[in-house]
A and B are shown apart, each in its own frame.
Chain A
Amino acid sequence: MLRMAGGTGLGGVGAALENANPLVFRRQGERAVTPREEDEALPDAIDGREVFDLIRAISDPEHPLTLEELNVVEEARVKANDANSTVSVAFTPTIPHCSMATLIGLSIKVKLIRSLPERFKVDVHITQGTHASEHAVNKQLADKERVAAALENSHLLEVVNQCLSGRS
């Protein structure tokens, strides 16, 4: 089975916060609707901003804040190529030893799998050099079977769903 967040990670939710006093960043406004987007005939390609909008409202497992406000995800680190059907998201844990990193990555991945057309290949990884066990986490996130198995775990699924429910 997965070692993903299951033990240490979930323990953190109830226990003392690891990063109790994070820096809060400004949220971007809603994407302005352009006349082009309102034109029936013209197609709009899926772009980085659109993918960013999918994930920016995911809430952090241990704060009442969104990943955007914590600067865990940034528009500049989201790449999308509609023609090649690829999406790549690099996220930055708030502190290098954050035990939530896997859980955050999993939430992002699940959200993208649910929200993007099936043709897309989704790559979610930690921004290079921002986490102690970067490599291990990336490997877990890239493994389809592990991700699927993680979602069979109802505790894990519950936490992920809570993150995805967003702010009310």
Chain B
Amino acid sequence: MSPFVLKTGACFFFFKKPHRTTFNQNVFLFLGVKAGTCTILDVVENLGSPLENADPRIRTRGIQMLSEVLMQCYSLLQEQEVTHLVLFYENRLKDHHLVIPSVLQGLEALSMCEALASGLAVSVLKAIFQEVHVQSLLQLDRHTVYSIIINFMSSREAELKSLGADFTFGFIQVMDGEKDPRNLLIAFQIVRDIIVKGYALGPFAEELFEVTSCYFPIDFNPPPNDAHGIQRGDLIVSLRAVLTATPIFAEFLLPLLIEKMDSDVQSAKLDSLQTLSAACAIYGQKELKEFLPSLWSSLRREVFQTASEKIEGEGLAALRALTACLSRLVLSPDDEDLLESFLKNVLQDCRHHLCEPDMKLVWPSAKLLQAAAGGSLRAYYQITSSVLPLLVEEYTKHVQSSQHRTILEVLLGFLKLRQTWGPEEEDKSPLLFPKASLCSMVFSAVAEPNVQLQLVGIQALTFLGSLQGLLEPPDVEMLVDHLVKFILFEEDPQTSLAAMEAAGTLAPTYPEVFSRCLVQKFSGKLKTGTVSEVLEDINPSHQERYLKALAAVSTHPSIVRETVPVLLEQLQQVQEGKIPSDTQFVVSVCQSLQQVALKCQQDPQSYWFFHQAVVPCLLGLGVQAAMQENSHTSKVLLKEEALSAMVPVISTACIHLSPELASQSVSKVVPLFLDGELSFLPGNSFPSTFQPFQDGESPMAAQRRLVALLMAFVCSLPRNVPIPQQDRLLCELLALSCSYDCPFTSTVAAKCFAGLVNKHPAGTQLDHLLEMAMNKLEQGLNEGPHQSQALTLLLWVCKALLLRYHPLTTQLTDKLLVLLGDSVLGPKVSDGFVLLMADSPDVLGKSCHAEVRLMFRQRFFTECVPQLVQRFHAAVPDMKSNYLKALSHILNHLPKPVLVTELPSLLSLLLEALSCHDRVVQMSTLHCLQPLLLDAPHIMSLHIDTLVGKFLSLTDSPTMAIRIAALQCLYALASFPTPVVIPYKARVIKALAKPLDDKKRLVRKEAVAARGEWFLLGTPGR
């Protein structure tokens, strides 16, 4: 009760004060110690009386206070002080049990001291092991003990090791019986360190295993609203790290794993299999030998009698790990090769299932064999040399194509496995032995008239072909002939597609054969189709296949050099009127060209070849077409579809150019459009001048359409490529975008402008440019015949600036929001919000090097939506749907996590939107609400009445997608707390009877799911 005076002059009423003030006192003491105004010894001296008080509760307080001070200032202590304190604390461990927690806390502080004299760590631990019965302490205090141990282990490793196995034994006693997951995580960490860092286990290996393995398999589920965030998975992983840390545990662990695999608990099986896989990483001959037979029989059972795919998968993974482990063993001369004998067992148990006539267990056996073979190349050779001849033999025995397919699929599995290991000399390969029969089996499979079988056969052929040196030249030709046949004549599109893919995969291996047997054949077909046999061979689906096949096979530079000219020639002939003009044909050729471009991207030489061949040629053809007057046939190339198909070709051919080559090319293309420089185009016969930016009607209008190609080119260049006369070009584009009636031309001009503005470096030049654009927009939007063109420009410029976070964006979005209330432009503006939010592939995409900031959608959302909501409430009723539609577009493109956090504020608006008659609005509102129903049921429960009513009425919508979405929402409603939804059960079930008879199957499926859930509400067994 006496006041308690420190030399700092502060005065404390230590025992009178309520407990919470001790913190402040401590801070003060700590500050004193830290400032050097008092030493820790002063603190101890002054604490003297409570530290020695006869009442253990008062002693506890004294020690607690001292410990808290130490916690704050352990780093400042001198060696001698530490020694005294340690002796004091060790001594206190013998004290009353109430005191112990505070003592441990002090020791924890001391365990972090760097000034700890050598030998003290050992003595502290010995004292703890001897005096404290850890498991009778509270969780927090046990945690303190673990912390002391782990602190010493990290700083005094050598000293602790001098304790020998006593340390291990002491720790075993400390953790024996631990139950709290928080403590277990740290205890497992300590055990793992004991093993991995080489502390002596002595005779206690088995005890150490027992004290940890008793938690296996982990069966812990965090309580709901658990604040500690420890998951079952964390414990599983840290325990597994302990159990698989050393081969010494093998003799105990393996029997345990086998026992748990044989249990009925699925999670135990799963954990055991995964632990086995992990253990295989470190085990050797000695550890495994004895257990191989039982391991194999357990693994086999898990696959043969599997109850879940997951367990089957883990079983196979464990088998693979086991064979891999056996393959790594280093053998002395008189050791038995365990791998060989193990695989012999596997083969013996699985092989005969492959030959059973009813083929019941073919799949599980094949999976086991493939898993075993997947362990190493050696295992692969041993298994395949036995299995492949068998499969070939079985194939000939069976007659049904479904059986053939099964066998071929199994074979394919083995072939695919070969790719796991890099190419090696195939002369040792067991694939060589049955090579001839293997090939003839696969060739006979592709000849059968069964699509599924053919598909598998084609894949098998691809793998055989890609193993180098396996196929003889005649076989390769036969293979290519087969592929050609499939591409040409096969009715089923799947097969011909698969054949094309196979051709693409194999062409780099056999470029010469593919060029001779495939490319030349198809080029010939395309040519003959054009001249003489127009009447006979004009099957467009065939033509399309030739084109696709030529693109698919262009995977080798030498083939690209053959196919590109053939494809370009097709367009040339369309332009010259030699083949009947057909837009679809032009589009197909362009699609093929784009495919070729995509395939060339990896190889700079091919890519540059493609660029040089294709870009001038397409521009030249366009210019020729635009100059020819009044000829109907040639105008095909200028149609919107045709030009739109050329855009991605040019774009793909420019995106990956190096800056040097790109500058070289841009210095020719821009003058073509600005000054009519035609000299670099192929074919020198141009009848008139090319002036796409000139005013004028007939010839100019056609020429202006080619700005689409200019757009494809300049908007795909890297940002650091300077564009000659850029400002002039931009002015021309701006003028073009708002001046003519042709929507195609003005849209591409606006896009081109936007694409360049997005990449334009910031500065006065850009500001000037944007000012010009703003003026133009003001003018165009206010009056005149080109209002909708001006709107398009506004949208594209707004997008270009939004993507780069330009400050002017706000002004432009405001304009758009105002226009939403416009009676004429409003609906168009609301549709335009799609454009702002969606990815745009051709000009403002990341792939075309546009500047796209990561969070632009979120930014737009936060800036724009509050205003949008405000304007919605103020708007006249007729215009409200415009706002809702704009909002729907924004929400639809927002990432789901953002949506869920922001939606509650918009909920009232969304509920209103459900009654809107616009289908786009309905659809997107349902899509927004659905995740919210699942993630925030507590908020949504408040509106249950409205939700049920609206969703049910939307199940009657004429649009299938809306019916589906409404039913999905009703399904989600059933996951609400039962008391909230149960009053609606009868009504919903009755109402859902109708969509059960919907004419569309996809709708019925959702209705069945939703109704089933509602039936289960409030019934037992749910």
The chain A residues found within 8 Å of chain B, CB to CB, are: 21, 23-24, 26, 33, 37-38, 40, 43-44, 46, 50, 53-54, 63-65, 111, 114-119, 154-155, 157-162, 164-165
The reply to whether the CB of B558 lies closer than 8 angstroms to some CB of chain A is no
The stretch among B109-117, B895-903, B971-979, B1011-1019 that forms the contact with chain A is B1011-1019
Chain B residues contacting A157 (CB-CB under 8 Å) are 1019-1021
Other-chain contact of B308, A64, A119, A159 (Cβ < 8 Å):
A64
Chain A residues contacting B959 (CB-CB under 8 Å) are 40
Chain B residues contacting A159 (CB-CB under 8 Å) are 1021
The reply to whether B1002 and A161 form a contact with Cβ atoms under 8 Å apart is no
Closest Cβ of chain B to A65, distance in Å, is 7
Chain A residues contacting B1012 (CB-CB under 8 Å) are 111, 114-115, 164
Alpha-carbon distance between A34 and B1011 when the two chains are bound, in angstroms: 24
The reply to whether A64 and B996 form a contact with Cβ atoms under 8 Å apart is no
Chain A residues contacting B1015 (CB-CB under 8 Å) are 114
Contact A118 B307, CB 8 Å, known A37-B1000, A38-B1002, A157-B1020: no
Determine the residue in chain B with the shortest Cβ distance to A119: B997
The reply to whether the CB of B999 lies closer than 8 angstroms to some CB of chain A is yes
Alpha-carbon distance between A12 and B257 when the two chains are bound, in angstroms: 30
The reply to whether the CB of B278 lies closer than 8 angstroms to some CB of chain A is no
Alpha-carbon distance between A38 and B1000 when the two chains are bound, in angstroms: 8
Other-chain contact of A24, B305, B993, B1002, B1021 (Cβ < 8 Å):
B305
Closest Cβ of chain B to A165, distance in Å, is 7
The reply to whether the CB of B1022 lies closer than 8 angstroms to some CB of chain A is yes
The reply to whether A46 and B1004 form a contact with Cβ atoms under 8 Å apart is yes
Other-chain contact of A50, B308, B360, B1001 (Cβ < 8 Å):
B1001
Chain B residues contacting A118 (CB-CB under 8 Å) are 993, 996-997
Closest Cβ of chain A to B304, distance in Å, is 9
Contact A33 B1021, CB 8 Å, known A114-B1011, A164-B1012: no
Which 4 residue pairs of A and B lie closest in terms of their CB atoms, listed nearest first?
A: A158-B1021, A161-B1021, A117-B997, A43-B999
The reply to whether the CB of B363 lies closer than 8 angstroms to some CB of chain A is yes
The reply to whether B1000 and A154 form a contact with Cβ atoms under 8 Å apart is no
Chain B residues contacting A162 (CB-CB under 8 Å) are 1021
CB<8 Å pairs between A and B, sample of 28: A23-B360, A24-B305, A24-B306, A26-B363, A33-B1002, A37-B1002, A43-B999, A44-B999, A44-B1000, A46-B1004, A53-B1005, A64-B307, A65-B307, A114-B1011, A114-B1012, A114-B1015, A115-B1011, A117-B993, A117-B996, A118-B993, A118-B997, A155-B1020, A158-B1021, A161-B1016, A161-B1022, A164-B1012, A165-B1016, A165-B1021
Alpha-carbon distance between A141 and B1022 when the two chains are bound, in angstroms: 23
Chain A residues contacting B1005 (CB-CB under 8 Å) are 53
The reply to whether the CB of B879 lies closer than 8 angstroms to some CB of chain A is no
Closest Cβ of chain B to A23, distance in Å, is 7
Contact A165 B1022, CB 8 Å, known A40-B1000, A65-B307: yes
Alpha-carbon distance between A86 and B59 when the two chains are bound, in angstroms: 86
Alpha-carbon distance between A164 and B1011 when the two chains are bound, in angstroms: 12
The reply to whether the CB of B960 lies closer than 8 angstroms to some CB of chain A is yes
Chain B residues contacting A43 (CB-CB under 8 Å) are 999-1000
Closest Cβ of chain B to A46, distance in Å, is 7
The reply to whether A161 and B1020 form a contact with Cβ atoms under 8 Å apart is yes
Chain B residues contacting A33 (CB-CB under 8 Å) are 1002
Alpha-carbon distance between A53 and B1006 when the two chains are bound, in angstroms: 13
Chain B residues contacting A115 (CB-CB under 8 Å) are 996, 1008, 1011-1012
Chain B residues contacting A46 (CB-CB under 8 Å) are 1001, 1004
Alpha-carbon distance between A154 and B1020 when the two chains are bound, in angstroms: 7
Chain B residues contacting A53 (CB-CB under 8 Å) are 1005
The reply to whether A44 and B1016 form a contact with Cβ atoms under 8 Å apart is no
Closest Cβ of chain A to B982, distance in Å, is 15
Closest Cβ of chain B to A19, distance in Å, is 12
Alpha-carbon distance between A46 and B997 when the two chains are bound, in angstroms: 9
**Total contacts A-B at CB 8 Å:** 68
The size bracket of the interface on B is 20 to 34
Among A23, A54, A114, max chain B CB count under 10 A is at A114
Alpha-carbon distance between A24 and B303 when the two chains are bound, in angstroms: 11
Determine the residue in chain B with the shortest Cβ distance to A167: B308
Chain B residues contacting A50 (CB-CB under 8 Å) are 1001, 1004
Alpha-carbon distance between A33 and B961 when the two chains are bound, in angstroms: 14
**16 new A-B contacts at CB < 8 Å, known A46-B1004, A50-B1004:** A21-B305, A23-B360, A24-B307, A40-B960, A46-B1001, A53-B1005, A114-B1008, A114-B1011, A114-B1012, A115-B1008, A117-B993, A158-B1020, A160-B1021, A161-B1016, A162-B1021, A165-B1022
B287-324 vs A, Cβ < 8 Å mask (1 yes, 0 no): 00000000000000000011110000000000000000
Among B307, B1000, B1001, B1004, max chain A CB count under 10 A is at B1001
Closest Cβ of chain B to A14, distance in Å, is 14
Closest Cβ of chain B to A82, distance in Å, is 10
Chain A residues contacting B997 (CB-CB under 8 Å) are 117-119
Closest Cβ of chain A to B190, distance in Å, is 37
Closest Cβ of chain B to A30, distance in Å, is 10
Alpha-carbon distance between A53 and B1009 when the two chains are bound, in angstroms: 12
Chain A residues contacting B306 (CB-CB under 8 Å) are 24
The reply to whether B1021 and A63 form a contact with Cβ atoms under 8 Å apart is no
Closest Cβ of chain A to B491, distance in Å, is 17
Alpha-carbon distance between A119 and B96 when the two chains are bound, in angstroms: 81
Alpha-carbon distance between A33 and B1008 when the two chains are bound, in angstroms: 17
Alpha-carbon distance between A164 and B266 when the two chains are bound, in angstroms: 21
Chain A residues contacting B1001 (CB-CB under 8 Å) are 37, 44, 46, 50
Alpha-carbon distance between A146 and B1000 when the two chains are bound, in angstroms: 33
Among A21, A159, A161, max chain B CB count under 10 A is at A161
Determine the residue in chain B with the shortest Cβ distance to A162: B1021
Chain B residues contacting A64 (CB-CB under 8 Å) are 266, 307-308
Alpha-carbon distance between A26 and B107 when the two chains are bound, in angstroms: 62
Alpha-carbon distance between A33 and B1006 when the two chains are bound, in angstroms: 14
Alpha-carbon distance between A118 and B468 when the two chains are bound, in angstroms: 63
Chain B residues contacting A116 (CB-CB under 8 Å) are 996
Determine the residue in chain B with the shortest Cβ distance to A63: B307
Chain B residues contacting A38 (CB-CB under 8 Å) are 1002
Chain A residues contacting B999 (CB-CB under 8 Å) are 43-44
Among B959, B1020, B1021, max chain A CB count under 10 A is at B1021
Chain B residues contacting A154 (CB-CB under 8 Å) are 1020
Chain B residues contacting A164 (CB-CB under 8 Å) are 1012, 1016
Chain B residues contacting A44 (CB-CB under 8 Å) are 999-1001
The reply to whether A54 and B996 form a contact with Cβ atoms under 8 Å apart is no
Closest Cβ of chain A to B403, distance in Å, is 15
The reply to whether A161 and B1019 form a contact with Cβ atoms under 8 Å apart is yes
Alpha-carbon distance between A1 and B753 when the two chains are bound, in angstroms: 81
Alpha-carbon distance between A53 and B999 when the two chains are bound, in angstroms: 17
Alpha-carbon distance between A37 and B964 when the two chains are bound, in angstroms: 13
Alpha-carbon distance between A54 and B1008 when the two chains are bound, in angstroms: 8
Alpha-carbon distance between A15 and B996 when the two chains are bound, in angstroms: 38
